[in-house]
Structure 1
Amino acid sequence: MKDYLSVKSGPQEFICGVGVWQILTEELTKRQLKKVLVLHGQASWEVAKKYFPMDSTVEFVFYDYRKKCTDENIAYFEGIATAQKVDGILAVGGGKVSDLAKGVAFKLLLPVIMLPTLASTCAAYTPLSVIYDEEGSLKRMDYYNRGIALTLVAPEVILDSPKELLVAGIGDTLAKWYEADAIINHRRNLPLEVEVAHFAAKKCQHVLLAKGREAVEALEKQTLNKAFVDVIETIIMVAGMVGGFGDEYGRSSGAHSIHDALTYLPESSKQLHGKKVAYGILVQLLIQGKWDELEELIPFYEELGLPTSLHELGLDLTIEEVELVSQKTAEIGEPIHFMKEEITPEVVSEAIYGLEKFRAG
């Protein structure tokens, strides 16, 4: 851990409310942005375009983001943004397009605007990008020294998203508490910023366990209610505050290290990020010997459809594949080593097998 913290509290402006996409033109004009590159996905754009203010006086240049956040794709859209002489970059969609837009914008020193269509990660809030290689394996995380210019969260747009993506977002965000607490709880004389991060992490757990089921039901019934808004703000905003205020104390530890190791198995790419992280929470709890907490989470997982085993992740791993995941998880430099427990490949594989045995019977 460093001797100091770097606090990145969030976007310069964050607005959540029904209909807020309709103030996009006004907000861009305030920022003197006249021509903006809009990156979006195919499926998400089919839903989002009916909410997007197409009669804007701002000139929008639309591009499909090509489904990946890689160095090569960032360079590709840097070239497009430069050739088009845009004033800013705007992301419409989920985590990967948001991370791609941030990567392009911060390379070109342009403002970046977020219009999330999903509540699956905190990517629309945090000044960082998760970079993958062309094969889909995690390559690194890039942290930026400037915040997002504007995030507009329209609950009615996210209500129009697939249920499985909200469930995955709940799984990913639930990890904020278990990972941050594993880093923070055995340390003393912590800075106030870390206390704020710890509080925000606990708030994530509290809101999701208390209101997650109701939020998923709201999406299924297409009924906008407070539980739904609270959950999507928790996933996008409160989760972003954990790492934003906590710096290294509020970032990933065990669950995300498990997720990152799973990305080395090509078949794991069929599963959503948040579901793999949710599985990683359970493995982390076994490493910590927290059986009571694991057993408390299982009913919640079962109700939402979060995976409680490799089998439920759709993975039937060989001994060699479990060894690979365990080795990658325990590599020097992985965030799992922020935990107080001594982490070795053997410790990880024992927890993986222990979870399978527990769920089998």
Structure 2
Amino acid sequence: MADTLIVRAAPQEYICEPGSWDGLEQHLERRGISSALVVRGGRSWEAAKGYFPEFKRVEIQFYRYGGECTYAERDGIASEVTRLGLQSIIAVGGGKVSDSAKAAAALLRIPVVILPTLAATCSAWSSLSVMYDKAGTMVGFEVYPHSNSLVLLEPQVILDSPPELLVAGIGDTLAKWYEADAIIAHLPSPSEEIALAHYAARRCRDNLMAHSAEALAAQEAGELNDAFVRVVETNIMTAGLVGGFGEDYGRTAGAHSIHDALTILPETHRLLHGCKVAYGVLVQLVLEGKQEEVVRLLPFYEKIGLPAALKDMGLDGLSRKGLLRVAARAAEPDASIHRMTTTFDAVTVAGAMEELESLVAAIRVRETVAASC
């Protein structure tokens, strides 16, 4: 853990309401910003461009994000801003677009504005970037001393996004509780900052367990309702508050170590971040000896489509050697799994993954038999 806990609780300003993107130019002008580079994705931009406002006074240039949040991508965005002499960066897209834009803005020490098109991570809220190599393997993360200048959340844009991305966001956000609790619950006297992180993490779990199914049904029907907006804000805002207040005590533990380890397998690069994290939650629970919580969570996973076993991710053919390779990566000395109170090695992690396979298989067989009676 860091010796000094630094609170980076929130963006400077945040608005969540239909039509929130319409005031973007005015928000820039209030900040004295007269020019910006819009960093956008591909498919996400096609879905969102109809909501992006026209500008009459602020100069806007566009940059197509390259597909991965790498240091080279960061440098490319920064070079474009410098070449054009622009004052700020606007990210329109998902988590990796936001992380790339934040990284470039931090490098140049200029404001960054986030317009999320997905609710798959809390990237729009947080003042950090998860960095990958060009092959999609996670290599680390960067934490910044400046908050995002502005986040404008347009719920209708998220409603129009692919449902599987919201499911992934639910998986990633659910982990906030299980990872934060694994770190914080054993502290004899948590500081007020850490207590707030713990509360926000619990709020993540409670909101998602209560509202996710209804939110996904609303998205399928194309209807904007309270459950949908609540889940979206939980994935972006409430999740961001966990790390924002708790820093290392509210960020990642075992579940994200499993995610990071899975990224060494090329066949997992097609899988969404939150789905791998959701699987990691169950592995972490087995490591903690909380198999009963796995049993409690499995119906929720099944209902909304989160993976609970290697087969669900297309990895049922993973050999024992491959399993140990993943487990060794998860248990590397600097891995976040070691923020938990117990020290885990590769053999222990691999054993937990194998135990999870057996546990999930047994539950599913039992449910199949019960359904046929």
Confirm or deny a common fold (TM above 0.5). yes
One-letter code aligned to 1:359 = V
Q: Which residue number in structure 2 is paired with residue 145 of structure 1? A: 145
After superposing on structure 2, the runs of 4+ consecutive aligned residues of structure 1 that deviate more than 4 Å are none
Correspondence 1:336 to 2:337: yes
Q: Which residue number in structure 2 is paired with residue 202 of structure 1? A: 202
Q: How many residues align?
A: 361
Q: Distance in 2 between matches of 1:63 and 1:8?
A: 28
Q: Which residue number in structure 2 is paired with residue 319 of structure 1? A: 320
Q: Which residue number in structure 2 is paired with residue 28 of structure 1? A: 28
How far did 1:54 drift? Answer: 2.0
One-letter code aligned to 2:7 = V
Q: Which residue number in structure 1 is paired with residue 278 of structure 2? A: 278
Q: Which residue number in structure 1 is paired with residue 113 of structure 2? A: 113
Q: Distance in 1 between matches of 2:134 and 2:158?
A: 29
Q: Distance in 2 between matches of 1:151 and 1:4?
A: 27
User: Equivalent residue of 1:140, what SS?
Assistant: strand
Q: Which residue number in structure 1 is paired with residue 349 of structure 2? A: 348
User: Equivalent residue of 1:142, what SS?
Assistant: strand
Correspondence 1:71 to 2:74: no
User: Equivalent residue of 2:301, what SS?
Assistant: helix
How far did 1:11 drift? Answer: 0.3
Correspondence 1:80 to 2:86: no
1:1-361 map, 5 Å: 1-315=1-315, 316-361=317-362
How far did 1:73 drift? Answer: 1.1
- Contact 2:90 / 2:113 at 8 angstroms: preserved in 1? yes
What per-residue deviation string (whole Å, max 9, x for no partner) do you get for residues 14-65 of structure 1?
Answer: 1101110001011011111111100111101111110000244222111110
Q: Which runs of 5+ in 2 are unaligned?
A: 363-373
How far did 1:291 drift? Answer: 1.2
One-letter code aligned to 2:78 = E
How far did 1:248 drift? Answer: 1.1
User: Equivalent residue of 2:269, what SS?
Assistant: helix
One-letter code aligned to 1:163 = P
Q: Distance in 1 between matches of 2:204 and 2:240?
A: 10
What per-residue deviation string (whole Å, max 9, x for no partner) do you get for residues 191-219 of structure 1?
Answer: 11000000000000000000011111111
What per-residue deviation string (whole Å, max 9, x for no partner) do you get for residues 272-307 of structure 1?
Answer: 000000000000000011011111110000011100
- Contact 2:256 / 2:277 at 8 angstroms: preserved in 1? yes
* More displaced stretch, 337-346 vs 5-14: 337-346
Q: Relative to 1, partners in 2 of residues 1:75 and 1:55: Cα closer, same or farther, differing over 3 Å?
A: closer
TM-score relative to the length of structure 2: 0.95
- Contact 2:63 / 2:77 at 8 angstroms: preserved in 1? no
How far did 1:78 drift? Answer: 1.1
- Contact 2:25 / 2:55 at 8 angstroms: preserved in 1? no
How far did 1:4 drift? Answer: 2.9
One-letter code aligned to 2:99 = D
One-letter code aligned to 1:324 = R
Q: Distance in 1 between matches of 2:231 and 2:193?
A: 23
Q: Distance in 1 between matches of 2:162 and 2:135?
A: 26
Q: Distance in 1 between matches of 2:354 and 2:2?
A: 35
One-letter code aligned to 1:343 = F
User: Equivalent residue of 2:50, what SS?
Assistant: coil
How far did 1:252 drift? Answer: 0.1
Q: Distance in 2 between matches of 1:4 and 1:32?
A: 33
Q: Distance in 1 between matches of 2:330 and 2:60?
A: 42
Q: Distance in 1 between matches of 2:341 and 2:111?
A: 39
Q: Distance in 2 between matches of 1:96 and 1:207?
A: 25
Q: Which runs of 5+ in 1 are unaligned?
A: none
What per-residue deviation string (whole Å, max 9, x for no partner) do you get for residues 121-165 of structure 1?
Answer: 000000000010122111110000100000000101110100000
User: Equivalent residue of 1:183, what SS?
Assistant: helix
One-letter code aligned to 1:60 = I
Q: Distance in 2 between matches of 1:360 and 1:204?
A: 28
